[in-house]
Amino acid sequence: MSNFFIHESSYIDNNVTIGENTKIWHFSHILSNTVIGDNCSFGQNCVVGPNVSIGNNVKVQNNISIYEGVEVEDDVFIGPSVVFTNVINPRSFIIRKHEFKKTLLKKGVSIGANATIVCGNTLGQYAFVGAGTVVTKDVPNFAVVVGNPSRQIGWVSKAGHRLKFNANHLALCPETGEQYQLKDKMVFDL
């Protein structure tokens, strides 16, 4: 017996793996050879796959298509109507499936509503992409990016709070007390 929920209006193709306690809501379609981890949630009107890997504890809000070439690690949040691409120069009259560029969302990434993630980029661990942002290049671990094109405006903790570094390049998360270090334009949790 399966221990996941699929709304009756959704379609699941053959050769799909869905983890325990995952919920797939209204009008969604999961295409073949897609693997979805445990404790995930897909809002209404989502399309995933084919050949996509989704980690555990991932929240995908409404109106999102996650195409082949996108890989999502654990604990990722994808806000409503986020857009992913998988080809740099699409044309309706030219088939470019052999040109799909990989997009990687590393553990703990959060992406705000209506952001666009251009293919071929990696969003680092616990990075935070503001609503409406257009990501055109890699985003470092713990970075906050906003705008079109995206630009970095700071750093966040695992819990999503802005980090303020002292003269020793150390910062504390105001919620958890976890310590972070800024070194060589990169942030590390200690």
Instruction: Using CA atoms of 45, 46, 49, 50 in order, give the dihedral in degrees to the nearest 10.
Output: -20
Strand, coil or helix: 21:
coil
Which pLDDT tens digits describe the chain residue by residue (190 residues)? Answer: 479 999 999 999 999 999 999 999 999 999 999 999 999 999 999 999 999 999 999 999 999 999 999 999 999 999 999 999 999 999 999 999 889 999 999 999 999 999 999 999 999 999 999 999 999 999 999 999 999 999 999 999 999 999 999 999 999 999 999 999 999 999 999 9
**pLDDT reported for residue 151:** 98
Residue appearing with tokens 């050949």:
51
**pLDDT reported for residue 2:** 72
Query: Please, what's the b/e burial string for 146-184 (b: 16 or more CB within 10 A of its CB; e: otherwise)?
Result: beeebeeeebbbbeebebeeeeeeebbbeeeeeebebee
Amino acid at 87: V
Q: CA-CA distance, 37 to 20, in Å (whole number)?
A: 7
- The tokens describing 168, both together, are 């020793």
Residue appearing with tokens 């929240």:
59
Cβ atoms of 120 and 104 closer than 8 Å: no
Length of the chain: 190
> CATH number of 1-68: 2.160.10.10, 2.102.10.10, 2.60.40.10, 3.90.1150.10?
2.160.10.10
Cβ atoms of 68 and 48 closer than 8 Å: no
Domain ranges for the chain, please list them. Answer: 1-68
Residue appearing with tokens 């616990």:
126
